[in-house]
Amino acid sequence: MCSMADRLSTRNAAVLLATVVLAWGTNWPVTKMIVHDMPPLWATALRCMIAAATLAPLLWAQGQFIIPRRGDLPVVFCTSILHLVAFSALVAAGLQFVPAGRAIVLGYTTPLWVAIGAAMFLSEPITRQRAVGIGCGLAGLAVIFNPQTLNWGDRNALFGSGLILLAAFCWAGNIVYVRAHKWISTPFQLVFWQVLLAAALLSTIAWITEGAPRIVWTNRLAALLLYSGIVCTAFANWAMTMVNRSLPAVTTSLWLLATPLLGIISATVMLNEPLEPSLFLAMTLIIGGIALGTVTGGWRQWTVRVKPAP
């Protein structure tokens, strides 16, 4: 692997970024398949354990393994609790009740709540372009929850959609804090401690609420967990660090907007989920609103700093 001090060529960085988009897009249906075979909290805990076991030697080999400074402890706890524990666990739980395609679109409403939260807590102005983007995103959300596209009599569907939306709120809260944090170490240097803490917290919560893990191990389940932990979490974090050093932030942000589209397509291929026209309309409105903010510089930091994966 390349040294963290090296920059990639534009071509290599683009290939690496495309790989990240592929990993994050396919991780949604992969997670849905995992929670079909094991409880969601244990699934998320095991994924974090695998990621931590992968990241430790990777950081050590690159000379990036550190003990977090006191000033960085708040961001370690915040990211671990709000993103890796709350967001990931809520998404995994929600995927038990809703199709992966719907979950992806709901999960990608996060920048809308970031814009609102940043205006409330960071005094970031809501510009005209950002306001239009928020309006488009909220219109997309209305399409998803329209009674003609969502059966309001299906409590499981409502509960699962609510869990995914709550996950997006948690992720947004983490992003707002990350924007305000005074960094001492780099985000990549801290990610091992974040996933390690998340693994410990999730295991404890899972043991209390779900009991000892009763998992029927198969080669398929093991492969899915390894893919989610190694490729979608550990590798993707390293890759995004390299990409962020090699490509402009706007370029990276716009590429990452392909993730939900790829997620919907992969859910159709891997899970045989139907391609609903209303879902594409909602995704177009939400992602279009985010793209508007990205092009005008409004939201590009959220995709660069924080990992958009369940």
Which tokens go with 255? 């590429």
Measured CA distances, 281 to 32, 99, 193, 278 (Å): 23, 16, 39, 5
pLDDT in tens, 98-147: 999 999 999 989 888 988 998 899 888 888 888 888 999 999 999 999 88
- CB-based contacts of 31, cutoff 8 Å, min separation 6: 43, 91, 92, 95, 100, 228, 310
pLDDT at 309: 52
- For the CA atoms of 210, 216, 222, 226, the dihedral, rounded to the nearest 10 degrees, stands at 0
- Nearest Cα to Cα of residue 57 among 234, 241, 237: 234
- Nearest Cα to Cα of residue 86 among 24, 29, 169: 169
pLDDT at 103: 95
- Nearest Cα to Cα of residue 204 among 30, 81, 109: 81
pLDDT at 306: 45
Determine contact, residues 187/66, Cβ cutoff 8 Å: no
Helix boundaries (H) for 38-99: 40-61, 73-78, 88-94
Decide if pLDDT at 275 tops 90: no
pLDDT at 295: 65
pLDDT class for 6, splitting at 50, 70, 90?
low
Question: What number of other Cβ atoms are within 10 A of residue 216's Cβ?
Answer: 7
pLDDT at 98: 94
Assign residue 259 a region: left if phi > 0, alpha if psi is -120 to 50, beta otherwise? alpha
Which tokens go with 76? 């370690």
pLDDT in tens, 226-241: 999 999 999 998 898 8
pLDDT in tens, 186-219: 888 999 999 999 999 999 999 999 899 889 999 9
Percent residues over pLDDT 90 in the chain: 64
pLDDT at 294: 67
The span from the CA of 91 to the CA of 104, in Å, is 9
